[in-house]
Amino acid sequence: MPTNYVLVDFENVQPDLSLLANSAYRVKVFFGARQQEGRVPFKLLDAMLALAGNVEPVKVMRSGSNAVDMHIAYYVGRLVEKEPAAVIHIISGDRDFDPLVEYLRAHGVNCKRAKSISEIAKQAEIAKQAQVKARSVPVSRQAKGAPPVKKPHSDKLAPIIKQLHSLSGKPATRRKLAQVIAIYFRHHGGALTESAIEQVIDELIHLKYVSQSGTKVNYHLS
């Protein structure tokens, strides 16, 4: 399963990091040079302690226009090179990140920007519940060579699963799968936002109807 990285532009936004406590998300908090001179709020310190080994503070030593942004962009590049299948969440209210995010997504990288981590926290909880359910499945049903055990899906997923099942030439990459989902909902009930489409794909993966390796996707619909 791909690693989720959360890169926080703490100079721009100060999200509640405790929402990701006890999750597998890897968090990097980027502090601007001026922020390092003040006292650390206890709430932030407490949240970072709750994240234990999954959090890393990154100090930007010099101030300047977009100094923190440039450091975050550099780390994104390193992560993409090291783990092409990683899911990267940039937490910032700065829209200057959007062209970078669009470029990466166009090249098959699962990267997104958000102003808060509330949606990420919801996804973390969904993943945690899915793992708990998977562990509760009898061993006999998880025998080596057996197909992935699928879990009940929502009414929203049912039509797209049916649509994918009917396709003889299924989309081979996550980006093309997103395009298929976008086109389907545009003609059946109304267009979805890019974020909503990504959540549909994430749920398909969590429920084991789809698996992802790098930018490629495989299907387990039958």
Q: How far apart are CA 184 and CA 212, in angstroms?
A: 21
Question: What pTM was computed for the model?
Answer: 0.55
Buried b (16+ CB within 10 A) or exposed e, 49-63: eebeebbeeeebeee
Closest CA to 1 of 162, 175, 124, 136: 124
Domains of the chain in start order, with CATH, are 4-120 (3.40.50.1010), 146-219 (1.10.10)
Q: What angle separates helix 157-166 from helix 194-206, to the nearest 10 degrees? A: 80
**The 87-91 sheet, strands edge to edge:** 55-59, 26-31, 4-9, 87-91, 110-114
Task: List Cα–Cα distances, 24 to 97, 121, 123, in angstroms.
Answer: 24, 11, 11
At residue 215's C-alpha, the angle toward residues 157 and 195, to 5°, is 45
Please compute the mean of the pLDDT values over residues 92-108 and round it to a whole number. 92
Pair of tokens at residue 100: 């970078």
> Residue 122's pLDDT band (boundaries 50, 70, 90)?
confident
Neighbours of 7 (CB within 10 A): 24
> Residue 75's pLDDT band (boundaries 50, 70, 90)?
very high
DSSP for 85-133 reads T-EEEEE-S-GGGHHHHHHHHHTT-EEEEES-SHHHHHHHHHHHHHHHH
Report yes or no: 73 and 92 within 8 Å, Cβ to Cβ: no
Mean pLDDT of the chain: 81
Rama region for 66: left / alpha / beta (φ>0; ψ in -120 to 50; rest)? left
DSSP for 159-198 reads HHHHHHHH-SS---BHHHHHHHHHHHHHHTT-PPPHHHHH
pLDDT digits (tens, 9 = 90+) for 129-156: 666 666 665 544 444 555 555 555 556 6
